[in-house]
């Protein structure tokens, strides 16, 4: 079988990239394995243009957020699935300084698109001595629903190969690669956190971060905002159920949930919520984060048949659509990649590792 691209991995990175390439008329074969753990199966899927401890506009917010809503809406229509949900974030102020800063920022054109200061919301359920900020253009993608719909779509096109890709079975010729009877112009690795073990890209400075989250029930309470203060509490479609997370852990990178993280989340939840809750589920995953918190996109420095689309870190859902489009333009039309995501920014590490 002949393809233009073999894509390894069917998390949000591989799936969105494969969909984008196919939408541009490319022949793609995606290799994925449901038995392997994936960050995308655990993630809450939140998209939020105003984030972080310093509460500022997220990197590239203007371009990413202009791109992602039409992208996911179109993808829903093409796949015949419902996974993109607009939902405002209610970010609770943590200090008077923060409150004043944001009152001033609501008047700035570069912020007014994304924020407003509402009357206090959910006063009976949430501790909020200083009120909060409402962030619009936010919401979440139900990633498992997206991935399943995409897998069915790929399968119908003969573009899906379930299985485990073995790096040692890849044959590399001067103008193509072959694996398991499939030959292609390039192979694109979208392996998420296990990409740090890829024999051709292990020189990249991955900094994987473990995250854990809970599914909880807040009996009788139905909020319609994602509540955010040092954690998120995100309403699920099923009435009084919520996803609550997440933790950040750089040392213990096992995929199993831990009691320590659960205790941390319970403490933070009790700080936010004025009402009791029950824990229904607890999950852990590893985020494919990088040393400079920017994705790794582009070709291997010496073997251009090998490429990588990885390092989406904590924000795969916001980053994948725009950068998949940019990578497709690079692969098909030789357009330049943003220097901040271009994998060549680390070429010196590659030559040092040789
Ligand atoms: C607790 C938690 C909460 C999060 N919340 C959010 C959030 O709210 N919003 C957000 O945007 N992001 C969130 N993230 C981050 C998000 O999960 C990642 O940015 C995103 O999932 C990365 O996608 P990926 O496709 O690169 O990696 P993955 O989802 O890990 O996918 C990699 C895929 O490659 C496959 N693979 C690897 N090696 C092979 C092989 N040899 N053969 C075949 N297949 C292979 C794996 O099976 C897997 O399916 C969260 C992460 C965690 C852990």
> 30 to each of 14, 75, 99, how far by Cα in Å?
8, 17, 47
Residues 267 and 239 in one domain: yes
Neighbouring C-alpha atoms within 13 Å toward the C-beta of 249: 23
Residues 154 and 25 in one domain: yes
Sign of CA dihedral 24, 6, 177, 202: positive
Residues 213 and 329 in one domain: no
> Which residues span the domain enclosing 314?
2-43+144-206+291-353
What pLDDT, on a 0 to 100 scale, did the predictor assign at position 34?
84
Residues 299 and 348 in one domain: yes
Q: Domain for residue 23, yes or no? A: yes
Residues 218 and 274 in one domain: yes
> pLDDT digit string (tens) for 161-194?
999 999 999 999 999 999 999 999 999 999 999 9
Q: Of the residues 266, 287, 308, which one is the last residue of a structural domain?
A: 287
Please check whether residue 348 is in contact with residue 77, taking contact to mean a CB–CB distance below 8 angstroms. no
Between the CA of 275 and the centroid of ligand 1 the distance, in Å, is 33
Atom index in ligand 1 nearest the CA of residue 143 equals 21
> pLDDT digit string (tens) for 107-118?
888 888 888 889
Q: What is the enclosing helix (H) or strand (E) of 149?
A: helix 143-156
Q: Domain for residue 171, yes or no? A: yes
Number of H helices, E strands in the chain: 8, 21
Residues 341 and 295 in one domain: yes
Residues 258, 282: Cα–Cα separation, whole Å: 9
Most ligand 1 atoms within 8 A of CB, residue of 43, 72, 147, 250 to mutate: 43
CATH of the domain at 200: 3.50.50.60
Residues 151 and 281 in one domain: no
What pLDDT, on a 0 to 100 scale, did the predictor assign at position 166?
95
Q: Domain for residue 110, yes or no? A: no
Structurally, the chain folds into a number of domains equal to 2
What pLDDT, on a 0 to 100 scale, did the predictor assign at position 344?
97
* Strand 241-245, strand 278-287: pairing: unpaired
Atom index in ligand 1 nearest the CA of residue 312 equals 19
Tell me the DSSP string of 229-266. Answer: SSSEEEE-SSTTEEEEE---BSS---SS--HHHHHHHH
Residues 48, 88: Cα–Cα separation, whole Å: 9
Residues 235, 225: Cα–Cα separation, whole Å: 7
Q: Domain for residue 127, yes or no? A: no
What pLDDT, on a 0 to 100 scale, did the predictor assign at position 238?
86
CATH of the domain at 263: 3.30.9.10
Q: Domain for residue 88, yes or no? A: no
- Which residue has the CA at smallest separation from atom 40 of ligand 1? 165
Please check whether residue 123 is in contact with residue 161, taking contact to mean a CB–CB distance below 8 angstroms. no
3-state secondary structure (DSSP) of residue 6? strand
Residues 185 and 249 in one domain: no
Residues 177, 185: Cα–Cα separation, whole Å: 6
Q: Domain for residue 53, yes or no? A: no
Please, what is the average pLDDT of the chain?
95
Residues 195 and 296 in one domain: yes
- Which residue has the CA at smallest separation from atom 4 of ligand 1? 43
pTM, 2 dp: 0.97
Residues 232, 245: Cα–Cα separation, whole Å: 6
User: Is 215 a pocket residue for ligand 1 (Cβ < 6 Å)?
Assistant: no
Most ligand 1 atoms within 8 A of CB, residue of 161, 169, 191 to mutate: 191
Atom index in ligand 1 nearest the CA of residue 319 equals 11
Parts of the chain with a pLDDT under 50: none
CA 128 to chain CA centroid, Å, is: 29
Q: Of the residues 270, 287, 304, which one is the last residue of a structural domain?
A: 287
Residues 217 and 272 in one domain: yes
Q: Is 299 left (phi over 0), alpha (psi -120 to 50) or beta?
A: beta
What pLDDT, on a 0 to 100 scale, did the predictor assign at position 35?
86
Q: Of the residues 287, 309, 339, which one is the last residue of a structural domain?
A: 287
Residues 213 and 281 in one domain: yes
Residues 239 and 191 in one domain: no
Q: Domain for residue 165, yes or no? A: yes
User: Is 194 a pocket residue for ligand 1 (Cβ < 6 Å)?
Assistant: yes
What pLDDT, on a 0 to 100 scale, did the predictor assign at position 232?
97
Q: Domain for residue 168, yes or no? A: yes
What pLDDT, on a 0 to 100 scale, did the predictor assign at position 53?
64
* 294 Cβ contact partners less than 8 Å away, ≥ 6 residues apart: 59, 311, 340, 341
Atom index in ligand 1 nearest the CA of residue 210 equals 53
Most ligand 1 atoms within 8 A of CB, residue of 40, 162, 256, 294 to mutate: 40
């Amino acid at each position: 079988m002949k393809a233009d691209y073999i894509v390894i991995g069917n998390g949000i990175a591989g799936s969105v990239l494969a969909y984008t390439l196919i939408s541009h008329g490319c022949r793609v074969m995606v290799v994925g394995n449901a038995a392997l753990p994936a960050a995308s199966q655990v993630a809450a899927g939140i998209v939020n243009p105003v984030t972080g401890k310093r509460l500022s506009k997220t990197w590239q917010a203007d371009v990413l957020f202009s791109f992602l809503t039409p992208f996911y809406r179109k993808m829903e229509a093409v796949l015949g699935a419902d996974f993109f949900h607009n939902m405002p974030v209610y970010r609770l102020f943590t200090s008077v300084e923060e409150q004043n800063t944001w009152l001033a920022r609501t008047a700035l054109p570069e912020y007014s698109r994304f924020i407003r200061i509402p009357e206090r919301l959910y006063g009976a359920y949430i501790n909020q001595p200083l009120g909060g900020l409402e962030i619009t253009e936010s919401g979440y993608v139900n990633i498992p629903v997206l991935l399943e719909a995409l897998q069915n779509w790929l399968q119908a096109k003969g573009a899906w190969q379930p299985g485990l890709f073995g790096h040692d079975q890849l044959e590399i010729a001067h103008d193509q690669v072959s694996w398991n009877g499939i030959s292609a112009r390039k192979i694109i690795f979208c392996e998420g956190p296990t990409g740090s073990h890829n024999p051709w890209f292990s020189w990249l400075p991955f900094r994987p971060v473990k995250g854990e989250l809970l599914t909880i029930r807040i009996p009788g309470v139905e909020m319609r905002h994602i509540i955010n203060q040092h954690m998120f509490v995100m309403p699920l479609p099923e009435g009084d159920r919520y996803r609550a997370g997440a933790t950040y852990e750089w040392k213990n990178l096992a995929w199993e949930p831990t009691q320590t993280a659960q205790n941390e989340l319970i403490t933070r939840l009790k700080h936010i919520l004025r009402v009791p809750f029950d824990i229904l589920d607890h999950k852990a995953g590893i985020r494919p984060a990088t040393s400079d918190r920017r994705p790794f996109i582009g070709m291997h420095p010496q073997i251009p048949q090998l490429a990588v689309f990885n390092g989406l870190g904590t924000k795969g859902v916001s980053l994948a659509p725009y950068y998949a489009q940019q990578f497709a333009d690079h692969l098909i039309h030789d357009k330049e990649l943003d220097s901040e995501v271009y994998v060549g920014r680390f070429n010196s590490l590659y030559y040092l590792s040789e």
